[in-house]
Structure 1
Amino acid sequence: METYSFEDFVGDRDVFLAEHFNKKPLLRKGALAGRLDGLPSVRQLDDVLALETTPPSYLRVTKGGKGVPSGAYTRTVARGAALAEAVSPEKVYELFRSGGTVTWNSLHHVLPSARRLLAPFTDTFACEGEVVLFVTPARNDGFAPHHDSIDVYVVQVDGTKTWRVWATPEIRRGDEGSYTPEELGEPVIEVTLAPGDVLYVPHGTPHAAAAKSGLSLHLSVGIEPRRWRDLLKDTVAAVVEDEEFHGFPYLADGEGGAGGAGEAAAAAGLSRQIELLRDRLAHLEPVAEAKRLARVGRERSGAGRTREFARLHAVDALTTDSLVRRSAAPVEIGDSDGTKTGIRVGGHRLAVPDAVARSLRELDGGRPVTTSEFFPGVDPARSLSAARGLARIGVLEAAEHAVFPVPDANGEPRNSRQKTPDSTPHTANHTDDQGK
């Protein structure tokens, strides 16, 4: 089972971030040569195309660099009393045979192997991303020269495709844009990608590609790292969750009877809230907040995947000899009332025996302990029961395996880096994909 890291795609991470990221394209010939078995491939496309529940919006067909109207490859189907549009595989095949490029957006929504391919990127940049599959028939251009609004990491999987990539402009225009070859001049990279080659194209960089000798399939990992304005919005949103910001002001406009006095009161209230916000932001611990922003970024939809059933299965399989440890979930441990201590995790509030609270504090450094020793002073079966209970809500995890995703108050995973007894993170393997 192949395991991929971010370095497999870009080489030395520090060199890539210093010399290429957000600056200029990067070509890595043979970066994944001989290591493509786990990636989505041509042989899976028929199964993906036959998924009857997949909305047509996932699929796009282009010919001659222009989009084909979706009505040319969809059909109307009856689902109960309602009518819906569905992809017609036969129409897609016909368009492909006649020179159309087929694009499958958000392939990670469908294939676990595509989601694992995405994981090293979303983990590195702490943001969501997308895997898009492009399959082009022989001797056909895919798209006219254009630029994208996101960074693109291209992995050639089957066949070959010739790419032209122009210099990344200092000032990048708009979200997307098209060009003519004449206005672009000479490309800085002109290369035929073979299976295993990787190409990085920064956002706003003009590029074009064409299949030559045979059918070509490549995967594009699209990443849009969060900008400072995005991170600051997340920080402020977290700060204003405090109860002191939960009031309901009346922003009088002078026409509702309160007049100038109402406007003055609203302005004064707003001033107090701004001052409070300024004070809370001034007292934030930057290192802790940076870690929180990274964790939140990795939890977003499209970043990583949930393994909650596998996590709970592992919890049920714990025995008195099993090792457990504190998970990455934030836990608030309160004061003792003499016999029990209150704790809060993921929206859960509960009281645990003081001995259990002491164990949780002692395990904060990450060291493991057997479940029979987790609750000192009681028989092993009761200690195991206490450990299982805390593991179910995400406070503890099985130490024999890596970190499981811990659910938050809404039941969403808190951590996208995980292993289960039968899976490895950041891998791509055909065994759990469609059509196997």
Structure 2
Amino acid sequence: METTASAGWTFEELAGDPGTFYSGYFGKQPLLRRGALARRTEELLSVGRLDDLLAMETVPPAYLRVARNGQGVSSKAYTRVVRAGGAALSETVVPEQVYELFRSGATVTWNYLHHLLPSARRLVDTLAQSLGAPAEAVAFLTPAGHDGYAPHHDPVDVFVVQTSGTKHWRVWDRPEASRGDSATYTAEELGAPALQTTLHPGDVLYLPYGTPHAAAAGDQVSLHLSLTVERRRWRDLLAETVQQVLADEAFADSVRPDRDLDGPAHARMTALLCERLAAAAPAAPAPRPQGGTRPPREFQRLASLTGLTPAARLRRSPVPVELGRSDGGKTRLTAAGHTVAVPDAVAGALRLLEAGGSLPAGELFPGASEPRSLSAAASLTRLGVLEPVPATGGTPR
């Protein structure tokens, strides 16, 4: 069951003091934090919750991966094709076959768990927003006494959160010579581990990009969550900033190949680009559907609007709104992919609200009756242009 506390994850719970983490560990070396989430493991993830997901029998194979003796098992061993009327509709995971593989010593991996569990999504959101980079959640369920995957390194930073049972980890120093974004190793070529430790429920282990590691369950079934972060690099930031600058109309003219490629025009535009880049702010991270943005609660929002009263105070929401010119007493309004025409008086009220503050729903349409004003307010609130002021917030007009 989800708890109200699960909405309150913080980056400090995972990484500790941000200054210490960034200066001493981020991208440099592993960090072990004993009991960092000791009081919150059940609300984050449990073995029983994975049972519930599997019992749905609608899990696409892309969400599940099985490995035994350090090697991947073909998905054909635990999936089937769903048919209706003789036609193949989709491929789905077969719970009984997954359980049989687990009983035989296989590790079951749940990819993209934040797509399925709100608790994992909230923690991924916190991590993605704090690091300004896309993040994902992957769960690893390993039978007692069995290894997970062979020694390997990942192309991402990883925060490991042990939620059930124990798992023994071996972690090696990063090789001086890169072996690509991901690679597997033998224990012999890696030598002695730099760190050997057993994680208990609530422990958090941070592994920087490219750190070889391997893990084995203890004497109980082990469940841990790996929060992976695709670290934003300088080349990503600079490429995004350049694209942001190039969107300016100053760079929109066509190139004449007979004179511009080697002539003064090329030098002039290159100098202009350098000038604009020197003055540009770094590009903000784009929204990441795999975890960088908080999931919408549209059903909950719409349900809360039922019974809007004339006295209910409304304010502008963060949704971007474009207001056009007046035409026949109506103003064109575009928001959230919808375009509507609103009375000029309502458009004027919206422009006033851009500066902040709030007003009663019954007064949104100056000069109109209270029911008509309330109707306009309800329509714009459903569209997301306006939102109710919380009982403890808002500034009266």
Provide TM-score, normalisation by structure 2. 0.82
| Alignment match of 1:324 (pick from 314, 337, 343) | 314
Residue deviations 1:350-407 (CA, integer Å, cap 9, x gap): 55445434433433354333323434444433333232232233322222289xxxxx
Offset at 1:196? 1.0
Q: Distance in 2 between matches of 1:330 and 1:37?
A: 38
Report how far residue 176 of structure 1 moved: 0.4
Report what 2:385 is aligned to.
395
Greater relative contact order (Cα < 8 A, sep 6+):
1
Gaps (5+ residues) in structure 2? 393-397
User: Counterpart of 2:71?
Assistant: 66
Matched, 1:40 2:45: yes
> Greater CA deviation, 17-26 or 231-240?
231-240
* Cα distance, 1:313–1:264 mapped onto 2, change above 3 Å: farther
Aligned twin of 2:11: 6
| Structure 1 residues 387 and 99: CA distance shift in structure 2, 3 A | same
- Separation in 1, partners of 2:332, 2:383: 15
Q: Partner residue of 1:102? A: 108
Q: For 1:337 and 1:196, how far apart are their aligned partners in 2?
A: 62
2:374 maps to 384
Match of 2:361 in 1: 371
> Shift of the alpha carbon at 1:339?
5.5
Q: In the alignment, is residue 56 of structure 1 matched against residue 61 of structure 2?
A: yes
* Distance of aligned partners of 1:191 and 1:64 in 2 relative to their CA distance in 1, 3 Å threshold: same
> 2 CA distance for matches of 1:185 and 1:21?
24
Alpha-carbon contact 1:314-1:398 (below 8 Å) kept: no
Give the secondary structure class of the aligned counterpart of 1:360.
Answer: helix
2: CA distance, partners of 1:283 / 1:209: 46
Q: Would you say how many aligned residue pairs link Structure 1 and Structure 2?
A: 384
RMSD of equivalent CA atoms:
3.6
CA separation of 1:368/1:17 partners in 2, compared to 1, >3 Å: closer, same or farther? farther
Secondary structure, aligned partner of 1:144: coil
Q: 2:395 is matched with which residue? A: none
Cα offset, 1:323, TM superposition: 2.6
Q: Map of 1:60-209 to 2, 5 A cutoff?
A: 60-83=65-88, 84-168=90-174, 172-209=178-215
SS of the residue aligned with 1:142?
A: coil
Is residue 23–residue 168 contact of structure 1 (8 Å, CA) maintained in 2? no
What amino acid is the match of 1:160? T
Q: What CA distance in whole angstroms lies between the structure 2 residues aligned with 1:277 and 1:337?
A: 44
Q: Where in structure 2 are the equivalents of 1:278-297 lying within 5 Å?
A: 282=276, 286-287=280-281, 290=283, 293-294=284-285, 296-297=286-287
Contact 2:61-2:75 at 8 Å conserved across structures: yes
Match of 1:427 in 2: none
Deviation at 1:170, TM superposition (A): 6.5
For the 8 Å contact 2:42–2:163, the answer to whether it is kept is: no
Change (3 A) 1:179 1:128: same
Cα displacement (A) at 1:66: 1.2
| Residues 371/12 of structure 1: CA separation in 2 closer, same or farther (3 Å cut) | farther
Scaled by the length of structure 1, what TM-score is found?
0.75
Per the alignment, do residues 339 and 5 of structure 1 end up closer, same or farther by CA in structure 2, a change over 3 Å counting?
A: same
SS in 2 for 1:114: helix
1:306 to 296, 310, 313: 296
CA 1:344–1:223: 2 relative to 1, 3 Å: same
Deviation at 1:342, TM superposition (A): 4.8
Aligned partners of 2:304 and 2:238: how far apart in 1? 37
Structure 1 portions without partners, runs of 5+: 252-261, 403-436
Q: Secondary structure at the match of 1:192?
A: strand
Q: Identical aligned pairs, as a percentage? A: 51
